[in-house]
Amino acid sequence: MMPPEAPKDGSASRRDDPPAASSCSGNPSLQILKTRNEFLAAARARKRGVGSMMVQARKRGAGEPFDSQAIRVGFTCSKKVGNAVARNRAKRRMRAVARAVLPAKGRAGWDYVLIGRPEATAARDFEDLKRDLIYALKKLHEPEK
C-alpha cells in the first residue's frame, strides 16, 4: 500500500491535524481520556444528568502521572443513542461544546466524561448544550453536603 500523497496546494493533510479536543487556546489545555480505566475511574466519581447529556467528573489524585494543570475529557454514547452515524454526530457536538466551555468553566486537575443521551444530544440547540454543560459543571463543583 502506498502512503497518501501530500495535497498539491501546499496545505497540510487531514492526517497532520491534531485531534479535535487535544488542545485549546488558553491555559489549561484539554486532553483526551483514552483508556477504559480512565473512563471507569470517572464513572466511580461524581455525576450530574442534564437534559442533553450525563456529565461525570473526577478530581485526579496527586500521585497520578498526568499533567496536574490539564483538563482531561472523554466522550461516549451507547447504542441507545442510535446507529453509528447518530452516535458520531452526538460525540462531535459534545466535543464542540467541551472546546467551548471547559477551558473557561472546567477545573485544572479534573477529568470529565460527557455521555450522550438518546434523541437529545444530537437534536438540542447548541446554545442549550452549552448551558447544560455549564449548569452540570457548576453542580459538580459544589462542595458535597
Per-residue pLDDT of 10-50, as tens digits, reads: 555 554 544 554 444 444 478 999 999 999 999 999 999 99
Determine the Cα–Cα distance for residues 103 and 4; give it in Å rounded to an integer: 35
Determine the Cα–Cα distance for residues 64 and 107; give it in Å rounded to an integer: 16
Q: Which three cell numbers stand for residue 142?
A: 459544589
Q: Considering only residues 110 and 7, tell me which one the structure prediction assigns the higher pLDDT.
A: 110
CB 53 within 8 A of CB 61: no
Q: What is the pLDDT of residue 67?
A: 79
As a CATH number, domain 23-140 is: 3.30.230.10
Question: What's the predicted TM-score (pTM) here?
Answer: 0.77
